[in-house]
Amino acid sequence: MRRSPGVNLALAIGLAFLAIIALLPFWWVISSSIKATNEIVSTTPTMVPHSFTLEHFAKLLTSSDYPRFLLNSLAVSAASMAVTVVLAVLSGYAFFRLRFAGRDFLYRAILLAYAFPAIVVLVPLYGMMSAVRLIDNLFALVVINVTFAVPFAIWMMRAFLAAVPLEIEEAARLDGASRLTILRRIIVPLIAPGIASVGIFAFISSWTEYLFASVLIQSDANKTIPVGLAGIIGQYQVDWGLMLAGATITTLPVVVLFFFIGRYFVAGLTAGAIK
Partner 1 sequence: MVAVTLRGLRKRFGAAEVIKGVDLEFAAGEFSVIVGPSGCGKSTLLRMIAGLEEVDEGEVRIGERDVTDADPKDRGVAMVFQNYALYPHMSVRQNLSFALEMARRPKADIDAKVCAVADALHIGELLDRKPSQLSGGQRQRVALGRAIVRDVGVFLFDEPLSNLDAALRVAMRAELARLHRELRCTIVYVTHDQVEAMTLADRIVVLQAGNVMQVGAPLQLYHRPANAFVAGFIGSPRMNFIPVEVASVGPDGATVSGPELPPTLAPTRVDGLAPGDKATLGVRPEHLNLPTEGATAIEGVVELVERLGRETGVRVRTASGLALDAIVDGAATVAAGERLAVGFRPDACHLFNAEGRALERRFAPQIVDAPPRPDVHPLAASATIASRSEQ
Candidates 82, 134, 177, 211; binder of partner 1 (CB under 8 A) is 177
Q: Is 170 in the site for partner 1 (CB under 8 A)?
A: yes
Q: Which is nearer to partner 1, 96 or 210 (CB)?
A: 96
DSSP string of the chain? -PPPHHHHHHHHHHHHHHHHHHHHHHHHHHHHTTS-HHHHT-SS--SS-SS---HHHHHHHHHSSHHHHHHHHHHHHHHHHHHHHHHHHHHHHHHHH---TTHHHHHHHHHGGGGS-HHHHHHHHHHHHHHTT-TT-HHHHHHHHHHHHHHHHHHHHHHHHHTS-HHHHHHHHHTT--HHHIIIIIIHHHTHHHHHHHHHHHHHHHHT--HHHHHH--SGGG--HHHHHHHTB-SS-B-HHHHHHHHHHHHHHHHHHHHHHHHHHHHHHHTTS--
Range in contact with partner 1 (rule: CB under 8 A) among 31-39, 83-91, 184-192, 195-203: 184-192
Residues 206-225 that bind partner 1 (CB under 8 A): none
Q: Which is nearer to partner 1, 175 or 220 (CB)?
A: 175
Range in contact with partner 1 (rule: CB under 8 A) among 50-58, 114-122, 172-180, 222-230: 172-180
Q: Which is nearer to partner 1, 172 or 202 (CB)?
A: 172
Q: Is 267 in the site for partner 1 (CB under 8 A)?
A: no
Taking the complex as a whole, how short is the minimal distance between the CB of residue 186 and partner 1, in angstroms?
Answer: 6
Q: Which is nearer to partner 1, 191 or 213 (CB)?
A: 191
Candidates 189, 219, 235, 274; binder of partner 1 (CB under 8 A) is 189
Q: Which is nearer to partner 1, 100 or 236 (CB)?
A: 100
Q: Is 231 in the site for partner 1 (CB under 8 A)?
A: no
Q: Which is nearer to partner 1, 3 or 185 (CB)?
A: 185
How far is the CA of 71 from the CAs of 74, 130, 158, 248, in angstroms? 5, 24, 33, 16
Nearest CA to 243 out of 108, 43, 69, 47 is that of: 69
Taking the complex as a whole, how short is the minimal distance between the CB of residue 57 and partner 1, in angstroms?
Answer: 43
Range in contact with partner 1 (rule: CB under 8 A) among 21-29, 119-127, 183-191, 204-212: 183-191
Q: Is 167 in the site for partner 1 (CB under 8 A)?
A: yes
Do residues 69 and 224 lie in contact, with contact meaning Cβ atoms separated by under 8 Å?
yes
φ and ψ of 233, to 5 deg: -75, 105
Q: Which is nearer to partner 1, 25 or 272 (CB)?
A: 272
Taking the complex as a whole, how short is the minimal distance between the CB of residue 171 and partner 1, in angstroms?
Answer: 4
Taking the complex as a whole, how short is the minimal distance between the CB of residue 185 and partner 1, in angstroms?
Answer: 8
Interaction site with partner 1 (CB under 8 A) = 165, 167-168, 170-177, 181, 185-186, 189-190
